[in-house]
Amino acid sequence: MGAGHGGALSARYVAGTSPVHRLAPQVKLVAVLAYALVVVATPVHAGWAPWAYAGYLLAVLTVAAVARVRPARLLRSLVVEIPFVVFALLLPFVTRGPRVEVLGLSLSESGLQTGGALLAKATLSVLAATVLATTTEPRALLRGLERLRLPAALVQILGFMIRYVDVVSGELHRMRVARESRAFDGRRRGALRVLGAAAGALFIRSYERGERVHLAMLSRGYSGRLPGGPAAAVPPREWAAGLALPLVAGVVLATGMLLG
C-alpha cells in the first residue's frame, strides 16, 4: 500500500545483534535522554565548549560504530535538523553586540557562538536519537517506556499509533487513488475544499475504527490496561554498559567546568 511494506514507523530500525541492539530498551532510552541533558547543559559561551562538543561527538560516534550504524544513515537522519540550521545561520546576522569580520561579512560574536552551540547541541542529540531508533524496534521502545512508568494511557496511544499508521495511510492512499481516478487535480482552484472534505472523511473513518477496535478489545476482556508480557529485570551490569555514553559525556562536561 501507500506506506512501505515494512511499515512507516519501523523504517528506521535496522536489525542487528550488536551489544547496543541487545541492551534493554529502557536502558537505551534513559541513556539517550541523559546524554542529551548533558549536551544541553554545556555552557554556550565557555571557551572550552567546542572541545566538549568534540568529546561528546567522539562518544556518540563510538557508540554508533559499536552498533554498526552506517555513516550514511547517520548523515541522512540529520535532515530533521534543517529548521535549526536555518535558525542557527541567521543568528550571527541578527544578534547585537561586538562584531567580527568573516569573509567580508560583519557578524555578531555572541551570535556566532549561540548559533554554533545550537547547531552542535541539536546535531549531537539527533545523532544519539538516531542510534536509538536504528537499534531498537518501535514496540521495544514502547516496552521500555512502560518499564520506565510512563502513564499507561500514553503508552497505549503510542502503541495504537504504531499499529494503525499503516492502516490509516493505506486508507489515505486509496482515497487519493479514488480522487485521481476521477480526474481530480490538486493544483486546480477549489481543490482545497475537496482535500478538506477528504481530511474530514478520514478523521471520521478513523474515529469509527477506534470505536470498533474498542468494541473488539472489550469483547476480549479489556479492562483499562493492556496486559504486558513477562518482564525481566535488567542486571546492573547492563545499566552500567548502557549508561556509559551519558557518563562519558558527563565526565567531559565536569572536566570542562573544573579546568575551564
Contact set with other proteins (CB under 8 A): 5, 7, 10, 138-139, 142, 159-160, 162-164, 166-167, 209, 212-213, 215-223, 226-230
Q: Which is nearer to other proteins, 51 or 164 (CB)?
A: 164
What is the sign, positive or negative, of the torsion defined by CA atoms of 91, 97, 98, 99?
positive
Structure-block grid coordinates of residue 259 = 579546568
User: 60 vs 146, which CB is nearer to other proteins?
Assistant: 146
80 versus 157: smaller Cβ distance to other proteins: 157
Q: How far is the CB of 51 from other proteins (least distance, A)?
A: 43
Residue with cell 482552484: 189
- From the CB of 228, what's the least distance to other proteins, in Å? 8
Residue closer to other proteins, measured from CB, 32 or 166: 166
In sequence order, what DSSP letters do the residues of 134-192 get, joined into one string? HHS-HHHHHHHHHHTT--HHHHHHHHHHHHHHHHHHHHHHHHHHHHHHTT--TTSTTHH
Q: CB–CB of 191/28 below 8 Å?
A: no
Least Å distance, CB 10 to other proteins, is 8
Q: Give 97 or 221: the residue with its C-beta nearer to other proteins.
A: 221
Q: Would you say 51 and 159 are in contact if contact means Cβ atoms under 8 Å apart? A: no
Shortest Å distance, C-beta 205 to other proteins: 11
Least distance from other proteins to the Cβ atom of residue 26, Å: 17
Query: Which CB sits closer to other proteins, 4 or 235?
Result: 4
**Distance of closest approach, residue 215 Cβ to other proteins, in angstroms:** 6
